[in-house]
Amino acid sequence: MANKARNPVRLTDVAKHAGVSRVTVSHVLHGSGANVRVSDATRERVQRIASQLGYRPNRSAQQLRGARSKILGVIVDTWNLPVMSSRLAALEQEATRRGFRLIIGQARNDPDRVREYLEDFSGRAVEGILCLVDLMRGYEKRLRPLFGRGAHLVFHGRPIVGGAACVRVDTSAGVRQSVAHVLDRGRQRPSLVLWNMADERSRLRREGYLAELTARELTVDEGLIWSARSASDVPSLDVVDRAIDTLIVRHAADALIADDDVWAARLIQRLKDRGFQVPSDVAVVGYDNLRLATVIDPPLTTVDQNHAAYAHAALDLAIRIHRGDELARAERIVTVQPRLIVRDST
């Protein structure tokens, strides 16, 4: 015979097993009743028994009573899913640590899906919305009308509506670290490999590259800045060969600062096919610190985007905004510093 469905555990059940009042249990588990005093021993006993009984709060009932939902909505819309997935995992871990839950929707470059998720989040009384959206060319204009005024929005990269906040990673600083590293290792002609200069991330990489050379009073050779001018961010064999022919064969580059880890991995593979040694002949640096960076031979020096710091900043912003804190414009934009992870490719 099939087991009957188990009734949900109630606050009164926890109170009965713990030998305390329902008010005490509600205060311990939900923070209700500001004037209720509970000893540490009682608090620990209530929490332990609630866990043993499998108590789960009734979110709908709590919201009807005016309690906080402690839910954040997340919209994911990205061409770079491996990186954004790692960022999302860090956000989920940080949210759990702070007692929040995430409701996640993936839009896949579809403004109608974004609108549907925004409507769904509104019906669920979320306390803030994190927009992990890559603002590709022209996409920002299509999205902006959907958000209205962004009082409870935290964007990735930059806020696209007034009143919103954002968390960004300092891409230029990451490339500066990469250039400084190879120069300090004795390389004299570091080059920059980009997928498309029309893309914002490529422009920021170029900015960091030029900034580090200028700071060291080194001559900038524009021939060492190469762009595939490609519609795809994943390089074909032909594109990789063109990069090697231009930068190494023609312009004698001794280090390649790649657009990302996938580019770096394919450059290393092709360099080895053509008889170049990495790093003795050519050093290679990636960007993103994907898992493949530790698998490729040699392991890849790369820039880590510091997802843990990003998640901490994003949750801080969302919570402060919901709490009604007055944030100056500068406080609404948080910049996270990436960090160089040095491995054998340099």
**Do 296 and 179 belong together in one domain?**
yes
Residue 281 has a pLDDT of: 97
**Do 189 and 213 belong together in one domain?**
yes
Query: What one-character DSSP code corresponds to residue 250?
Result: I
Q: How many domains does the chain fold into?
A: 3
Rounded to the nearest 10 degrees, the angle between the axes of helix 200-215 and helix 171-184 is: 40
Q: Residue 134 sits in which domain range?
A: 71-170+308-338
Domain-located, residue 1: no
Domain-located, residue 2: no
Residue 275 has a pLDDT of: 97
Q: Which residues of the chain have pLDDT under 70?
A: 1-6, 31-35, 58-68, 137, 150, 231-233
Residue with tokens 């948080």: 334
**Do 186 and 162 belong together in one domain?**
no
Output phi, psi for 181, to 5 deg. Answer: -65, -50
Q: What is the pLDDT of residues 283-335, one digit of tens each?
A: 999 999 999 999 999 999 999 999 999 999 999 999 999 888 888 888 999 99
Residue 263 has a pLDDT of: 95
Domain-located, residue 117: yes
Domain-located, residue 230: yes
User: In 3D, which of 39, 3, 2, 35 has the Cα closest to residue 19?
Assistant: 39
**Structure tokens of 222?**
């524009």
d(CA 210, CA 221): 10
User: In 3D, which of 264, 282, 263, 262 has the Cα closest to residue 274?
Assistant: 282
- 95: three-class secondary structure by DSSP: helix
pTM: 0.80
Q: What is the pLDDT of residues 58-88, one digit of tens each?
A: 655 555 455 567 899 999 998 888 999 999 9
Distance set, CA 189 to CA 112, 186, 224, 237 (Å):
47, 9, 8, 24
**Alpha helix ranges (H) inside the chain:** 11-18, 22-30, 40-53, 59-64, 81-97, 111-123, 139-147, 171-184, 200-215, 237-244, 261-273, 292-295, 307-323
Residue 139 has a pLDDT of: 81
**Do 107 and 166 belong together in one domain?**
yes
The CATH number given to whatever domain includes residue 203 is 3.40.50.2300
**Do 121 and 136 belong together in one domain?**
yes
Residue 229 has a pLDDT of: 84
Domain-located, residue 344: no
Q: What is the pLDDT of residues 91-104, one digit of tens each?
A: 999 999 988 999 99
